[in-house]
Amino acid sequence: MIDELKKEIEGARRSFIHELESIQSPEQLAALKERCLSRKKGVVSQFLARLKGFVPAEKPLAGGAINQFKEFVETALAEAERTRGAAVAAKGEWLDPSLPASELPVGRFHLIADIQRQIEDIFLQLGYEIAAGPEVEREEYNFSKLNFPEHHPARDEQDTFFLEGHDDLLLRTHTSPMQVRYMLEHKPPLKIISPGKAFRKDDPDATHSPCFHQVEGLLVDRGIHFSHLKGTLEAFCRSFFGPDIVLRFRPGYFPFTEPSAEVDISCFMCGGDKADCRVCKGTGWLEILGSGMVHPQVLRNCGIDPEEYSGFAFGMGIERVAMLKYGVPDLRLLYENDLRLLGQFG
């Protein structure tokens, strides 16, 4: 019984192919479709109606053969409709390719994460590695080894969150402890950046957040000097802000660098030409980085001989860079996670 059915199906298949090839008009195509697939009298339905007559053991085989035939017919008809669609349309069927595209969902990266990625990419190209460290950090790495003596007023500048029941731990106030961790574990030459979250006990306002992001950089080798720091930061700033950016180094103070420098870039918006520039407030300069030569005591604290090696370190706040580059007026907006803001970036 099953063999008989299969033979009939094969016959139907051949005749279908024959008819499809001889079709001249969309009407004929529609008629063929009706003949094959009509629920009531279609060829396929007629085959299916006969399934009842099969013994259970043969039922699946019969069903399978019919389904295979059905799929073949459907695919072939769909293909014919598509390839001859233009002809069909030309004969008056309505098809308007100027209809609007559907708005399919698109997700975006958070502005801070995206800026961080941009900064990482530039330094990766300059041959730096990314080193990530813990956010709950040892006091020793966050301060002592970075040449912040205990009870030194320099610690006041970084209002610190401490943890209940863990006197030796804190939330890192900068990403600089990663310098220490990396130097303790690796021998020069060292070239790393360390991006990530840092925390200071600041009430949130337009320019402060208790939780923020930094990128720290460190390079240690023989013969590294202050001009190398400037060259590196020039390369970065020109790549990130624009090729005409000029850097200004000003003396600064960080316990873990000596000499130290605050780094300003020329205003990428007005180039210093506009007294009412909203970005630089008419000063022509934007403060974006802290930097310096790694303090000899820090190198020594990390097992590196400062008589043999020297290095530089720098750090910048990602939120600040993001706000400057994209004109975001208030830091708090970056932590509200409002999709109307997030949708504009990344």
Residues 44-103 that bind other proteins (CB under 8 A): 56-57, 59-61, 63-64, 67, 99-100, 102-103
What Cα–Cα distance (Å) separates residue 222 from each residue in 147, 166, 271, 302? Answer: 22, 39, 36, 16
Q: Which of 9, 43, 44, 190 binds other proteins (CB under 8 A)?
A: 190
Q: Smallest gap, in angstroms, from Cβ of residue 248 to other proteins?
A: 7
Instruction: Compute the distance between CA of residue 250 and CA of residue 292 in angstroms, rounded to an integer.
Output: 11
Measured from the CB atom, is 32 or 313 closer to other proteins?
313
Q: Which of residues 119-148 bind other proteins (CB under 8 A)?
A: 120, 124, 127, 129-130, 134-136
User: Does the protein bind other proteins through residue 11 (CB under 8 A)?
Assistant: no
Q: Which of residues 276-335 bind other proteins (CB under 8 A)?
A: 293, 295-297, 310, 334-335
> Phi and psi dihedrals of 319, rounded to 5?
-60, -45
Strand-pair partners of 253: none
Q: Which of 88, 219, 280, 313 binds other proteins (CB under 8 A)?
A: 219
Q: Which of residues 149-188 bind other proteins (CB under 8 A)?
A: 151-154, 156-157, 161-166, 169, 171, 186
What does DSSP say about strands 129-130 and 190-199: parallel, antiparallel, or unpaired?
parallel
Q: Which of 248, 274, 325, 332 binds other proteins (CB under 8 A)?
A: 248
Candidate segments 40-48, 77-85, 191-199, 323-331, binder of other proteins by CB under 8 A: 191-199
Q: Smallest gap, in angstroms, from Cβ of residue 198 to other proteins?
A: 10
- What sign does the dihedral 283-285-290-294 (CA atoms) show? negative
Q: Smallest gap, in angstroms, from Cβ of residue 188 to other proteins?
A: 8
Q: Smallest gap, in angstroms, from Cβ of residue 212 to other proteins?
A: 10
Q: Smallest gap, in angstroms, from Cβ of residue 28 to other proteins?
A: 28
Structure letter (DSSP) for residue 157: G
* Cβ atoms of 183 and 304 closer than 8 Å: yes
Name the E strands within the chain: 129-130, 136-138, 162-163, 166-171, 190-199, 211-221, 247-251, 257-266, 285-294, 310-317
Instruction: Compute the distance between CA of residue 165 and CA of residue 162 in angstroms, rounded to an integer.
Output: 9
User: Does the protein bind other proteins through residue 193 (CB under 8 A)?
Assistant: no
Biggest alpha carbon distance in the chain?
Answer: 97
Q: Which of 142, 214, 232, 301 binds other proteins (CB under 8 A)?
A: 232
Rounded to a whole number of angstroms, the CA Rg of the chain reads: 35
Measured from the CB atom, is 235 or 279 closer to other proteins?
235
Site residue total, other proteins (CB under 8 A):
95
What Cα–Cα distance (Å) separates residue 98 from each residue in 82, 88, 94, 95, 102? Answer: 18, 18, 12, 9, 12
Q: Smallest gap, in angstroms, from Cβ of residue 32 to other proteins?
A: 25
Q: Smallest gap, in angstroms, from Cβ of residue 296 to other proteins?
A: 6
* Secondary structure in 3-state letters for 294-342: ECHHHHHHCCCCCCCCEEEEEEEEHHHHHHHHHCCCCCCHHHHCCHHHH
Q: Let me know the angle formed at the C-alpha of 200 by 143 and 336, rounded to the nearest 5 degrees.
A: 150
Q: Side-chain half-sphere of 109: how many Cα atoms within 13 Å?
A: 9
User: Does the protein bind other proteins through residue 35 (CB under 8 A)?
Assistant: no
User: Does the protein bind other proteins through residue 252 (CB under 8 A)?
Assistant: yes
Measured from the CB atom, is 19 or 258 closer to other proteins?
258
Q: Which of 82, 250, 278, 281 binds other proteins (CB under 8 A)?
A: 250
Q: Which of 205, 273, 308, 338 binds other proteins (CB under 8 A)?
A: 338
